[in-house]
Amino acid sequence: MKISIIVPVYHVENYITACLESVKNQDYEGEIECILIDDCGKDKSITCIENYISSNAKKGLVFKILHHEKNRGLSAARNTGMDAATGDYLYFLDSDDTIEPNAIRLLTAPLKKKKYDFVTANYQFTGTDVKAPVMTINEGEYLGNEPIVNTYHTQWFAMAWNKLVSKDFLKSNSLYFKEGLIREDELWSFKLACTATSMYVIHATTYNYLLQRKDSIMAATDQIKKIDAMRTVMAGWVETAQAYSHEYSQQHLYYLLEMTKRNCFIDAQDCMDDAKRLNLYKQLRTLSLPLPISMPPGKKLAIWVRDFHYSPLIPVKLGYSYMSMMVRLAIIVRRFKKRLS
């Protein structure tokens, strides 16, 4: 089985050697191609890569460098890698992260007996003492779309990296990344969850994520842009859910959408004035999924009390005032829980 590791390269000359070394050190006995996409960064990352490749040959491992004519962003770089990949399964790796020596071997182990749309595992932070969260989903196989959708984001991770994904599955479902979007992983993985019918979970830690990145795209982007990007992601969620979801998954997807809308509104309290928050609220009102018919009456009533202000029958300013009140209460609860912990 051939594996394609896709590595978009962005201003990482201090980290790229460690990244490449972690790929070279894989104990996987099959073929690996590592596709590095030069997205026209202005540092010496590509020179470092060329120097490393020229002196680090290994049987069964091929490094390829692809060049963009101009900077197009992370999503475009990943898409370029997907189109060029010749492996049976694809694996996304950020160029300032590393993978454990047994990562590819462990992720491919379940595929010896059965093909899955994707295999995922745990990760850990590096560069900090902070502990990474762990997946709460049980280890093993998940067949059918229902258990995959209903555990998305709450029990397995939304990041694109550290997932071994079938190339045939990706291509047949046109699961490309939306170019120009900051939170591209959130939309891509949501589409992955809504289209996949088989998943395998292993609890081993296979990926090392550098938490404190000085050159990170997310660290360099202000909060308002993050909120705006997440609004675009949620619009994609609604469109995808309407195209793929079934009654069994509506409750989870509804909860996920409303939770994210509230979190965006909470974050807006620190970076937007009242006029901008009102405009954000107007935009959030346009993003909705229907309440599941099968939801228990008591729970449905509680959700109605929380979310009725989104109804077109409620004046926007009145709804905005209600949402602001609910958010203030949520912030108080969040601070109280933080003190207790």
Question: For the chain, what percent of residues have pLDDT higher than 70?
Answer: 94
With cut-offs at 50, 70 and 90, classify the pLDDT of residue 40.
Answer: confident
Q: How confident is the model at residue 341 (pLDDT cuts 50, 70, 90)?
A: low
215 compared with 10, residue with greater pLDDT: 10
Q: Give the global pTM.
A: 0.89
Q: Quick one: which of 214, 317, 331 has its CA closest to 268?
A: 331
- DSSP character at residue 210: E
H-state helical runs in the chain: 16-24, 45-54, 74-84, 103-108, 145-149, 167-172, 184-195, 223-244, 247-268, 274-285, 297-307, 316-340
What average pLDDT is seen over the chain?
A: 90
Sign, Cα dihedral of 207, 137, 337, 228: positive
Buried b / exposed e over 32-56, threshold 16 CB at 10 Å, is bbbbbbbbebeeebbebbeebbeee
Q: Which domains does the chain have, with CATH numbers?
A: 3-210 (3.90.550.10), 223-340 (no CATH)
Average pLDDT over residues 172-200: 94
pLDDT > 70? residue 219: no
Q: What counts of helices (H) and strands (E) characterise the chain?
A: 12, 9
pLDDT 10s digits, 238-285: 999 888 866 556 678 888 999 999 999 988 988 899 999 999 999 999
* pLDDT interval class at 166 (50, 70, 90): very high
pLDDT for the residue 333: 83
